A and B are shown apart, each in its own frame.
Chain A
């Protein structure tokens, strides 16, 4: 795996060296306590905010906040970067806050310890109640400065929660906080799917006795019926422009894939085949659709063009492969595959080939991608209970969040 190369263009020319992979490990970051600059400012605000920021950075799996006991200098004074590089910190977060009437004014600085300079300096303002929100903004700015994308802190998961003999749909922050149940159907309700702008949530519910497809408006809280054909009305993913939603309907005799125009309810049939076709998802460019079909004998993942042509089989390993989830980057498709009697999550290139196993141990199902394509949410079975878990895209750093199943990841919600 190591790669050293020696090549000379001439005895005195430039010599080339090849390094073929970094050490993959978390970035060591020192998050120092935000300091109060005014006596009126609540003294607990600083430590509390700091801890929230630290926790958020930690949950991404990208950072390893250095324990405060290891710090060699106290925050607030002049920064001596050698004190920080001595304890292995690559980055340093320092901040201050003042009270301004009922609000706090917070300043955050992100330092590159190696270079000894500020990478980012931002100001935030809010009331004590907004503390979590501010922490998320700070975490977002830090992650964005260091990796280009920081929106993960403003995403949510929709999930299915069992209630008695039925189930309802809830929404929770990506880190498992602030769970809110959004349906009250007193029936079986499942398969939540966020629209690309995060404004709507499609789902299927038996609240009218038969399984119908509904669209929930997250902003207003209202629900409208989109499809109630006889048989299944099961939502798949939305199109990237949000105008269509894929669905599994059995209106024409058996389970087929359709595209439904969200505004009008008009449907267009995409598969014409006697066998089960279900769980359709668009590719991020909207040109292809991955779905599940048992037309070759057992449930497998297939891909077709968005108009239904050129159907080809994608998965050939294992005899039960379902629940495709197409990465927002377009280069991988996750699915659940049966292995040794239970299900695990696998990843495969849309071009086909050998799948990679992402999870192992307890059963994992129902994979979903984060909008930045760096995290996976899934159902994990702990004992006999289904729970929602998130992990990095390699399957590392699994964190179980709360009971539930069928997670679906929202887009980044602008703040």
Chain B
């Protein structure tokens, strides 16, 4: 009997969250303007949701962390693909990915063998900085990536440069340094596995991954 009761509570909260997420999404969209979001599990920064999130987070912690991460990455990949394709529309709020404490901000891209931030990418970073300043408790990891050409090792360094340049820029706009971590994957994690200019251009990127709240 008690068991049933608990189950009902769980479902209620879940429903509440889903419902809440929907509203939150709209709010976030308004704030960010054109930032696209695909799929479910968008973390709503609205204060109302925080408590529910905390509960959710606790539950999540009990589940396999690995599965989460994998699903999140799959969601991320989906998202990137959508972004790269230039889709700006946020599809229906399907909740198929259950994890999603992790969401990413839009990636920026680089020229071959370069780590300087190009003007159009600065716009993107400006938006990220704004968003981060409005969501003070969010931490991110910037991942630096390269295309497949050239040395493994030099590309690891280049990827790190790219991540760090993006970090420096965000800091210069007022984001606290301790909220930003960087990691380089060199050319080891291409987002487009093809071997042509288009794929390479997509792979030369910095990704902004939101870290889950502890």
Contacts and interface: CB of A to CB of B under 8 A. Distances in A.
Contacts of A48: none
Contact of B188 (A190, A231, A248, A323): A190
A232 B160 contact: yes
Interface residues of A, number: 35
A276 B161 contact: yes
Contacts of A231: 160, 182, 184
B154 A292 contact: yes
Interface in B176-201: 182-185, 188-189, 195
A279 interface: yes
A276 B189 contact: no
A232 B188 contact: no
Interface string A342-363: 0100000000000000000000
A160 B151 CA distance: 13
Contacts of B113: 298-299, 320
A166 B185 CA distance: 11
A167 B150 contact: no
A364 to B, nearest CB: 12
Interface string B139-164: 00000000001111110111011001
State the majority secondary structure of interface residues on B: mixed
Contacts of B153: 191, 234, 248, 278-279, 292, 322-323
Contact of A211 (B151, B161, B183): B183
B177 to A, nearest CB: 12
Interface string A130-152: 00000000000000000000000
State the majority secondary structure of interface residues on A: strand
Interface of B: 113, 149-154, 156-158, 160-161, 164, 182-185, 188-189, 195
Interface of A: 160, 165-167, 188, 190-191, 206, 209-211, 231-232, 234, 248, 250, 254-255, 276, 278-279, 292, 298-299, 320, 322-323, 336, 338, 343, 365-366, 384, 405-406
29 contacts: A160-B152, A167-B188, A188-B185, A188-B188, A211-B156, A211-B184, A232-B160, A232-B184, A234-B157, A248-B156, A250-B157, A255-B157, A255-B160, A276-B158, A278-B156, A279-B151, A292-B151, A298-B113, A299-B113, A299-B150, A299-B151, A299-B154, A320-B113, A320-B150, A322-B153, A336-B151, A343-B150, A365-B151, A406-B152
